[in-house]
Amino acid sequence: MLKVKKQLCWILLIGNIFFVSGAVLAGPGGEGRRGGPSSPGPGYMFDQRYQHNHYYPRPGAMVNALPGGYRSVPFRGDHYFFHGGAWYRPNGPGFVVTAPPIGLAVSFLPLAYTTIWVGGIPYYYADNTYYTWAPERRVYVVSEPPPDSEVIEDPEMPNKIFVYPKEGQSQEQQATDRYECHSWAKGQTGFDPTQPVGGVAAAQNSAKRQDYNRAMRACLDARGYSTK
């Protein structure tokens, strides 16, 4: 069967915004089936649970140094380190890719996450880790996986934004730009897609999301990206 290749490699940002770079996806029978990006290397695994479709370092993999821009999270006398949706802990002279402990609390979600619903409660999923929002503490808590029989996957979101770097921006520059544009759009609109219901009243969710998307488009367009 003839393989058709497309220049389409997407990385989910927040909510319904995708950054697109120039990696190759193969057609039927080729690498990248089910819409996933081509593998960054043999030390990574493709997480397609709930159609999450992202690559992460394999559990148990050892690294000599943590990726730049990691976050340190203390928990019960230990320290865990977070970067790009994956978690690490010290191991000898280096670090090992690990699962975060149940109960660990953070003030952030991975930029790439998938929302599922269990009994009317949203769970935020990335790299075999489930987070739930604790409103009384205003943190996300690593939680036990819910029973598969009770999971309802989030419906496909309308008005997805695809973002293309027009000026050859590096991955580091893209990460900076999307974070700064997200912060600016959040401040302009009061909508934060990393918060439950966007941090607004449910009745305002749709209108505020559109306002946020418009603000993101304006910011990214001004920084040399094409959005559609």
Q: What is the pLDDT of residues 143-184, one digit of tens each?
A: 999 998 888 876 544 456 778 888 888 766 876 787 788 889
CA distances from 32 to 85, 112, 162 (A): 20, 18, 18
Q: What was the pLDDT predicted at 98?
A: 97
Q: Which residue has the tokens 């912060």?
A: 183
Q: Considering only 12-16, 97-101, 207-211, which range has the smallest mean pLDDT?
A: 12-16
**Alpha-carbon gap, residue 158 to 3, rounded angstroms:** 30
Q: What is the pLDDT of residues 86-130, one digit of tens each?
A: 999 999 999 999 999 999 999 888 878 888 888 878 898 999 999
Q: What was the pLDDT predicted at 171?
A: 63
pTM beyond cutoff 0.75: no
14 against 65, higher pLDDT: 65
